[in-house]
A and B are shown apart, each in its own frame.
Chain A
Amino acid sequence: MSSAATAPVLRKTALNSTHRHLGAKMVDFGGWDMPVEYSGLVAEHMAVRTGVGVFDVSHMGDIQLRGPSSLAAVQRISMNDASKLAVGQAHYSALLYPQGTFVDDVIVHKLSENDYLLVINAGTREKDVDWVRSQIGAMPGVHVSDYSDYYTQLAIQGPRAAETLAKLTNADLSTIKNYWFTWATVCGLANTMIARTGYTGEDGFEIYVPSDEPTSVRVWNEVLEAGREFGILPCGLGARNTLRLEASMALYGHEISEEITVFDAGLDRYCKLEKGPFVGAEALNKIKAEGGPKRRLVGLEVIERGIARDGYGVFDDEGKQIGYVTSGSPSPFLKKNIAMAYVPLDFSAVDTEVVVQCRSNAVRAKVVGLPFYKKPKKQS
């Protein structure tokens, strides 16, 4: 990070001026000048839970692996089993270090038989690209490209997201299942990628359009116009964070990092040790053979008055520190104070009570099942 003495030169997405015109509060996020909120975090959060919201997520990175060995390369560098993907399908996965800890979490998209797109975090972009290149090295038959700056990526999220996007595209959105994608005309732009993915716990889509400013601004405005009847709001990183926390999705630097293993984070179901060798598998097999992880990521609900936040210590009744909070916030939708935390296994059972040191106040909290929030089933 930059020192206080020199202001960092922040990167900007093509929509930077648009956000400022909308009166967004801007914040340095992983070296990017990004909107944290526009009309207000809670209003934006609720728009996504009950209607529709749109996020500029162009700061996310895009790595493409192409060539006859691209599947072999993806299999080597990521923990999920990409051989199971059909063309047009995506899945959650992660890039791991040899010790089974996280370089980053990623969404892998199978664009064609020999072409994969990895969507990665903004703050770890360079690190991830370097890591992928270093692991693939001179592997013949695969070409790695960093297309991060070529796309403006918008996330249209919420129960009314499909109705909003339907007005702007010729695609039949009902045929795109969760974690699948297609190409169609969107806002008059042919061959636009539409993925039914997101980071909010709601139904929603992420669209990828050319990153020049006029195109980006036009598409953004058309999305806002299309969603107007559903009360669409532009949403910032503040609501993005509270939404993903309610849905208990991991955030790099909080629930996952180079210090945390896949098993600690409870992401085992996305880690396919049986698929064959990949970076990190050996260490994870060893951990498994030795009885599994010693700690677990749990959900906490604060029982007493207080808000548990990232970095606060978690203690047992004797006052001994047993863990720490990775993310925490008042939950705008559930109207409770929730958090995720790392605790030893014997404190990870649901209903176990612990103490969180919220600045000067020791506050009781209890372990609850994750996710905190699950979107309601569609009424058929």
Chain B
Amino acid sequence: MAYPESFRYTKEHEWIEVDGKTAKIGITDYAQNSLGDIVFVELPKIGSTLEKNKVFGSVESVKSVSDLFAPASGTVTAVNEELATAPEKINTDAHTAWILTLELSEPSEIGSLLSAEDYQKYIAEEGAH
């Protein structure tokens, strides 16, 4: 599975695709693979605010539950309603199955996130443990 160069990544395995002041957020292929069959995505409400590094929801698979951490701060402008009925879309293609879109409040925060290359190095080390 390719990790798009246009995304930035967190060590908690979220991706963010920034377009000016707006951004799309999802979880990485590595994350979906670790979770296994995803059955439930807990989404925040449209209009709620996210704070970088703070929990904004969770993803549950049959075997475990994982918190979602905000890669950046901002206001939720849309959530992917498809995931309410078909959360397994994240397993099928984690990098197109976005979770929410965000109006960024601090676009400079993106600078501290991992590039595709750095993220892949990071998960290679994780997998080795």
Q: How many chain A residues touch the partner (CB < 8 A)? A: 17
Check if B37 is an interface residue, CB within 8 A of chain A. Answer: yes
> Closest CB of chain A to B96's CB: distance in Å?
19
Chain B contacts for A305, CB-based, 8 A = 40
Indicate the size class of the contact surface on chain B. Answer: 10 to 19
Task: Check if A330 sits within 8 Å of B62, measured CB to CB.
Answer: yes
Chain B contacts for A359, CB-based, 8 A = 58, 65
Task: Check if A332 sits within 8 Å of B62, measured CB to CB.
Answer: yes
Do A307 and B63 contact each other (CB < 8 Å), given the known contacts A41-B37, A238-B36, A330-B39? Answer: no
Check if B51 is an interface residue, CB within 8 A of chain A. Answer: no
Interface centre among B39, B61, B62, B129 (most CB of A within 10 A): B62
Task: Check if B39 sits within 8 Å of A307, measured CB to CB.
Answer: yes
Chain B contacts for A307, CB-based, 8 A = 39-40, 60, 65
Chain B contacts for A42, CB-based, 8 A = 37, 62
Do A238 and B40 contact each other (CB < 8 Å), given the known contacts A7-B129, A359-B58? Answer: no
Contact with B65, one of A25, A238, A242, A309 (Cβ below 8 angstroms): A309
Check if A37 is an interface residue, CB within 8 A of chain B. Answer: yes
Chain A contacts for B62, CB-based, 8 A = 41-42, 238, 242, 329-330, 332
Task: Check if B65 sits within 8 Å of A41, measured CB to CB.
Answer: no
> Closest CB of chain A to B123's CB: distance in Å?
14
> Closest CB of chain B to A200's CB: distance in Å?
16
Check if A48 is an interface residue, CB within 8 A of chain B. Answer: no
> Closest CB of chain B to A329's CB: distance in Å?
6
Chain A contacts for B61, CB-based, 8 A = 41
8 A Cβ contacts from B29-55 to A: 33-34, 36-37, 39-40
State the CA gap A25–B61 with chains docked (Å): 15
Check if A73 is an interface residue, CB within 8 A of chain B. Answer: no
Check if A30 is an interface residue, CB within 8 A of chain B. Answer: no
Task: Check if A329 sits within 8 Å of B37, measured CB to CB.
Answer: no
Check if A15 is an interface residue, CB within 8 A of chain B. Answer: no
Give 1 or 0 for each of B4-34: 1 = CB within 8 Å of chain A CB: 0000000000000000000000000000011
Q: Which residue of A lies closest to B58 (CB)?
A: A359
Q: Which residue of B lies closest to A36 (CB)?
A: B63
8 A Cβ contacts from A20-50 to B: 25, 36-37, 40-42
Task: Check if A41 sits within 8 Å of B58, measured CB to CB.
Answer: no
Task: Check if A40 sits within 8 Å of B36, measured CB to CB.
Answer: yes
Contact with A329, one of B34, B58, B63, B129 (Cβ below 8 angstroms): B63
Give 1 or 0 for each of B80-95: 1 = CB within 8 Å of chain A CB: 0000000000000000
> Closest CB of chain B to A216's CB: distance in Å?
26
Chain A contacts for B34, CB-based, 8 A = 25
Chain B contacts for A25, CB-based, 8 A = 33-34, 36
Chain A contacts for B36, CB-based, 8 A = 25, 36-37, 40-41, 238
Chain B contacts for A37, CB-based, 8 A = 36, 63
State the CA gap A41–B33 with chains docked (Å): 11
Q: Which residue of B lies closest to A241 (CB)?
A: B63
State the CA gap A305–B60 with chains docked (Å): 12
State the CA gap A69–B62 with chains docked (Å): 47
Q: Which residue of B lies closest to A331 (CB)?
A: B62
Interface centre among B33, B36, B63, B65 (most CB of A within 10 A): B63
Chain B contacts for A242, CB-based, 8 A = 62
Q: Which residue of A lies closest to B91 (CB)?
A: A40
Q: Which residue of A lies closest to B34 (CB)?
A: A25
> Closest CB of chain B to A270's CB: distance in Å?
29
State the CA gap A37–B36 with chains docked (Å): 8
8 A Cβ contacts from B96-117 to A: none
State the CA gap A40–B33 with chains docked (Å): 9
Chain B contacts for A330, CB-based, 8 A = 39-40, 60, 62
> Closest CB of chain B to A35's CB: distance in Å?
12
State the CA gap A222–B46 with chains docked (Å): 54
Q: Which residue of B lies closest to A237 (CB)?
A: B63
State the CA gap A240–B129 with chains docked (Å): 25
Question: Residues of A at under 8 Å CB distance from B?
Answer: 7, 25, 36-37, 40-42, 238, 241-242, 305, 307, 309, 329-330, 332, 359
Question: Residues of B at under 8 Å CB distance from A?
Answer: 33-34, 36-37, 39-40, 58, 60-63, 65, 129
Q: List 28 A-B contacts (CB under 8 A).
A: A7-B129, A25-B34, A25-B36, A36-B36, A36-B63, A37-B36, A37-B63, A40-B36, A41-B36, A41-B62, A41-B63, A238-B36, A238-B62, A238-B63, A242-B62, A305-B40, A307-B39, A307-B40, A309-B65, A329-B62, A329-B63, A330-B39, A330-B40, A330-B60, A330-B62, A332-B37, A332-B62, A359-B58
Q: Which 4 A-B pairs have the closest CB atoms?
A: A42-B37, A330-B39, A41-B62, A238-B63
